[in-house]
Amino acid sequence: MSPTASRFLPYAATFVRVALAASFLSAVADRFGIWTKLGSSEVAWGNMEQFLAYTRLLLWFLPGNLANTVGWTATVLEVTLAVALLAGIAIRRVALLSGILLLSFGVSMTLATGPEGPLSYSVWTAAAASFLLATLDPSTTGPSLWRKRG
């Protein structure tokens, strides 16, 4: 890797981490009506009930109660992964899990509603960014609250 590229890598990786975390947290904020309360008209669900209805649409092959459990599990995972990405905790593992979660979203969305949704919402791009982040040496992925210093 060129010296210029190696100097730029921590900034790019940090940007990916923050962008992924912000996307996860924004989706969760939408589910809990936070964006609606802030006056945004650009919400996907607006509340948890609507999100769970969408989850049941995507997971049409599961019983409704199980699909609801998956929806809540995804919500908890998104918050957990976002916090870990922001704090720099276990970046490779967290990035890999983020990629797997996003890949499962993309596949479910494609099978249930067609290819336009995950393309328009950049699900595939976010999954690819997660997998790319997972390949990087953690020392090159930007600041970390847990990485040993010096």
Span 24-55, pLDDT tens digits: 999 999 999 998 887 677 888 999 999 999 99
Residue 49: inside a domain: yes
Residue 145: inside a domain: no
Residue 103: inside a domain: yes
Residue 81: inside a domain: yes
Angle between helices 3-31 and 91-113 (to 10 degrees): 50
For 116, the domain range is 8-139
Residue 150: inside a domain: no
Cα–Cα distance for residue pair 90/95, rounded to 1 Å: 8
- Give 138's DSSP letter: G
Residue 91 is encoded by which pair of tokens?
């970046």
pTM of the model: 0.90
Residue 40: inside a domain: yes
Task: Tell which residue, 57, 75, 82, has the closest CA to residue 67.
Answer: 57
Number of domains within the chain: 1
- Give 149's DSSP letter: P
Model confidence over 86-121: pLDDT tens digits?
999 999 999 999 999 999 999 999 999 999 999 999
Residue 120 is encoded by which pair of tokens?
């328009």
